[in-house]
Structure 1
């Protein structure tokens, strides 16, 4: 479990230090304060900054495209959109500026903007004859570009280095519609950590069905049903069934003392959101659960009970939870659940520093459970 975190040069997080983390962490702050960027940084860490993951993150923000001076979309079949992940949305000119997601143990992952060129060298036999030509990739920094021979055209790339020290290159000019072969070994390296991400939007029914298939006919099925009963205590069964009139399965529920099957979606957004949250917990076992805008679809009156379930499952399944919110109701319900749970809950406020020397840098303020008892809405500036 991460006990602290430092994120540098990632999006608007120039140098964010989070000195303390708990089992369950709630991130608050105004719009555009960097809440979701923290979740994205954690996704990059657990996903080893895989090209497919970075592609999904860029697409979710419409950052996958290049625009010319006339605002027309240009070639989108390369990886130059990755510049949006760096501070100021540009690849850094300073070779000492790179994306770093780290803890006290050191870099968890490091993403650098570099260049490389192909250097050919002759293979000479004992008689001095050239019998072969070998080529190797030489990595250089921007300050070394002027030292390269004109015949060796440098290629821009992203170098990804994991905590273990393993690293690989992603050619920025490479066709991004193909998965680079060079990253397969990196992604399959050890020290993998599960991560389940719950976005602000509702998951498709088929996605939920696949998660349900993994836990059905077991004790976890009852946990899901108990969670749904927070909204309607008469819920007795949940199933995902095939339908000839639609693509994918349909989620239906059965109520007590009734043989009627009711579509889950007809029970309101809260029911769908709770199902999405709880099913996502199980797939994060021994890893991270990331929730963007926890309160989406949930009435304030049910949030405390949902938080209690999250705290308990986080302990039982050895999960560390990170969630964001801009709702005071969500903060109040989180506080009540955190104080009553043996697992530590931490509230993390992100905001612009008021120190002139920080030049508007995003900083973190930590509220442990004791501080949460007296914190006010005005102090957190959630609106």
Structure 2
């Protein structure tokens, strides 16, 4: 398993500079806007080597262009962000120009690859293609994410979107394109969608001997907690055993992809998983993602959501036992003092104590700081953690 032992972050979102030496089970707490989610996302980007574009209301010709992702990925006023770990080295540039100024050779390769990528998308005469590409590079810029093995370019509108629309319309008029030509409109829409989509490519030749093993990385968001998704037979077997071992529900006979079967006096009763309580589903979803992260990393946003206090204890016990069994490193953010207290009081031996690290994020509105606590240290500052989480 590739595990993160050291992480270094510079100029990523609200984080100016941060060094992190995580353990196997990591709980990140702190007030709102203190950098918890930024730390979680930095880990995700570092391990994946690219940025996941979020839905946005910014559109061109019906195509989503997430300007927020590009504007706020890099700390305000800075031109690049760095996220380095034992697993990967990642640099993010705000624009092609920023990449050119810092790494001209890499910029030349990216520009050449991007040009060819757009050219391959287009159809028609060469003159039209050249004019189209000129408009793209004059009005669209790219957030550049470079890792050890690949590069991603994420397009965003660098000028007023009306200028882009106007220039494209003028190009159509000059090329004699009839706006009523439905087929041409469909082709153009396809060009734009492909041109304005994120684009990833390898930056070094693939060599089986040199390639690092891929680390499975999963992120469990708020939305995904209430959806189990597609499960393999092995996943279902693990979840069924888990429910029985933890006695989460009584009289469980069998678990399937969509249902829970109960052994009742009147016979077998089948109830859809979706008809169970949110806490039960969220707990199963967490375990499902844990199983999927075998020999890898799992990121969890506020696991306490939807969970009854009893389930928090079950969750912590599950994380300690399954993380070791499945060889998974877990990072989770939380606002729950109960979760932290249960986690700090759970370890019974040195090995279990060494698995856990509590990190408190703080900010004065400008600078983000992180304070790490081992189990013994966390128990000593329990009251401080309680007051911080209560906003006192």
TM over 0.5: yes
Gaps of 5+ in 1: 68-72, 118-135, 141-150, 241-249, 354-358
Q: CA deviation at 1:3?
A: 1.6
Q: Could you tell me whether the CA contact under 8 Å between 1:293 and 1:325 is conserved in 2?
A: yes
CA distance in 1, matches of 2:146, 2:308: 43
1:347 is matched with which residue: 358, 365, 378?
Answer: 358
Gaps of 5+ in 2: 99-107, 113-133, 158-190
1:210 is matched with which residue: 223, 230, 233?
Answer: 230
Per the alignment, do residues 224 and 65 of structure 1 end up closer, same or farther by CA in structure 2, a change over 3 Å counting?
same
CA distance in 2, matches of 1:320, 1:215: 19
Aligned match of 1:127: none
Q: Could you tell me whether the CA contact under 8 Å between 2:239 and 2:284 is conserved in 1?
A: no
Alignment of 1:300-339 (within 5 A): 300-339=309-348
Aligned match of 1:243: none
2:255 is matched with which residue: 230, 234, 238?
Answer: 238
Determine whether 1:262 maps to 2:259: no
Per the alignment, do residues 361 and 106 of structure 1 end up closer, same or farther by CA in structure 2, a change over 3 Å counting?
farther
Q: The residue matched to 2:380 in structure 1 has which SS?
A: coil
Q: What TM-score does the superposition give when structure 1 sets the normalisation length? A: 0.70
Aligned match of 2:143: 158
Per the alignment, do residues 280 and 188 of structure 1 end up closer, same or farther by CA in structure 2, a change over 3 Å counting?
farther
Q: Could you tell me whether the CA contact under 8 Å between 1:199 and 1:291 is conserved in 2?
A: yes
Q: What TM-score does the superposition give when structure 2 sets the normalisation length? A: 0.69
1:225 is matched with which residue: 236, 239, 243?
Answer: 243
Per the alignment, do residues 10 and 256 of structure 1 end up closer, same or farther by CA in structure 2, a change over 3 Å counting?
farther
CA distance in 2, matches of 1:198, 1:24: 15
Aligned match of 1:98: 80
Q: CA deviation at 1:270?
A: 1.5
CA distance in 1, matches of 2:332, 2:339: 11
Aligned match of 2:220: 198
Q: Could you tell me whether the CA contact under 8 Å between 2:91 and 2:145 is conserved in 1?
A: yes
- Between Structure 1 and Structure 2, which shows a larger proportion of helix residues? 2
Q: Could you tell me whether the CA contact under 8 Å between 1:11 and 1:37 is conserved in 2?
A: yes
Per the alignment, do residues 107 and 273 of structure 1 end up closer, same or farther by CA in structure 2, a change over 3 Å counting?
closer
Alignment of 1:33-52 (within 5 A): 33-50=34-51
CA distance in 1, matches of 2:297, 2:310: 26
Per the alignment, do residues 212 and 203 of structure 1 end up closer, same or farther by CA in structure 2, a change over 3 Å counting?
farther
Per the alignment, do residues 256 and 320 of structure 1 end up closer, same or farther by CA in structure 2, a change over 3 Å counting?
farther
Per the alignment, do residues 2 and 181 of structure 1 end up closer, same or farther by CA in structure 2, a change over 3 Å counting?
closer
Determine whether 1:183 maps to 2:191: no
Q: Could you tell me whether the CA contact under 8 Å between 2:91 and 2:146 is conserved in 1?
A: yes
Aligned match of 2:375: 369
CA distance in 1, matches of 2:143, 2:195: 16
Per the alignment, do residues 188 and 176 of structure 1 end up closer, same or farther by CA in structure 2, a change over 3 Å counting?
farther
CA-to-aligned-CA distance 1:127-184 (integer Å, 9 cap, x gap) = xxxxxxxxx76769xxxxxxxxxx99766323222135x4454454595666858514
Alignment of 1:267-306 (within 5 A): 267-306=276-315
Per the alignment, do residues 181 and 330 of structure 1 end up closer, same or farther by CA in structure 2, a change over 3 Å counting?
closer
C-alpha RMSD over aligned residues = 3.5
Alignment of 1:17-36 (within 5 A): 17-18=19-20, 20-36=21-37
CA distance in 1, matches of 2:205, 2:350: 36
CA distance in 2, matches of 1:186, 1:282: 32
Per the alignment, do residues 277 and 325 of structure 1 end up closer, same or farther by CA in structure 2, a change over 3 Å counting?
same
Alignment of 1:67-82 (within 5 A): 77-78=64-65, 80-81=67-68, 82=70
CA distance in 1, matches of 2:300, 2:312: 14
Aligned match of 1:12: 14
CA distance in 2, matches of 1:179, 1:238: 43
Figure out how many residues of one structure are paired with residues of the other and give that number. 313
Q: Could you tell me whether the CA contact under 8 Å between 1:202 and 1:272 is conserved in 2?
A: no
Per the alignment, do residues 196 and 170 of structure 1 end up closer, same or farther by CA in structure 2, a change over 3 Å counting?
closer
Per the alignment, do residues 259 and 181 of structure 1 end up closer, same or farther by CA in structure 2, a change over 3 Å counting?
closer
